[in-house]
Every structure is written in structure tokens, then in C-alpha cells.
Amino acid sequence: MKRKVLIEKISQNTNQKPSVVQKILREFVKVLSEALRNGEVINISGLGQFKTKITKPKIGRNPKTGEIVPIPERKKISFRPTDWIRRYINSKK
């Protein structure tokens, strides 16, 4: 689902203007991104947990030249859905 469709569905379900929903979604992403950048764990009841994990530095290889390339450590975003969402997704319709 694309962002525009998500905004339209939320707008219809909440009787809010799409512009209001878009502002809220934009702010949500902004706050979430800033918190993850600072290493915070974000728990959203009914949805799940967002957090960052540090990947270890490793050695990679350029597939064209075969040259060895060091890959530095970096942050990776991890999302763990709630049990309810897992059960809902895996249940039969």
C-alpha cells in the first residue's frame, strides 16, 4: 500500500481531511525517526516495537572487480509486531 492510499483510508475511517491525516503521518514518521536515531525503543500498543540494532563491521567484495571493501558498523531498524497482529495476519479469513 502506498502512502497516498493509506492517507485516504485513514481519512475515510476517521472523517478527517486528507491534509490533516497527511500532517499527522508526516509528524509521526519524523518523531519516530528522531527517536530511533537517538537509540530509543518505541513501543506502540497494538502495533509493536521499533528499535535499532547495531550491525557488526564486515568485509565485503565488489562483485564487478572482486576488490575487498570494508563495510563499517551501522544501525539497522528492527520492528517486532505484537502477538495480536501476528495472530491476525496468520489467521484464515
pLDDT, tens digit (0-9, with 9 covering 90-100), for 2-39: 999 999 999 999 999 999 999 999 999 999 999 999 99
Do 85 and 52 lie in a common domain?
yes
State how far the Cα of 60 lies from the Cα of 70, in Å rounded to an integer: 6
Here the CATH number for the domain that contains residue 62 is 4.10.520.10
Rounded to a whole number of angstroms, the distance between the first and last alpha carbons of the chain is: 19
> Is the separation of the CB atoms in 50 and 36 below 8 Å?
yes
The answer on pLDDT for 93 being more than 80 is no
pLDDT at position 92, please? Answer: 79
Rounded distance, CA 25 to CA 2, Å? 13
Shared domain for 36 and 59, answered yes or no, is: no
Same domain, 12 and 52: no
Domain tally for the chain? 2
Domain residues for the domain of 12 are 1-40
Residues 61 and 74 grouped into a single domain: yes
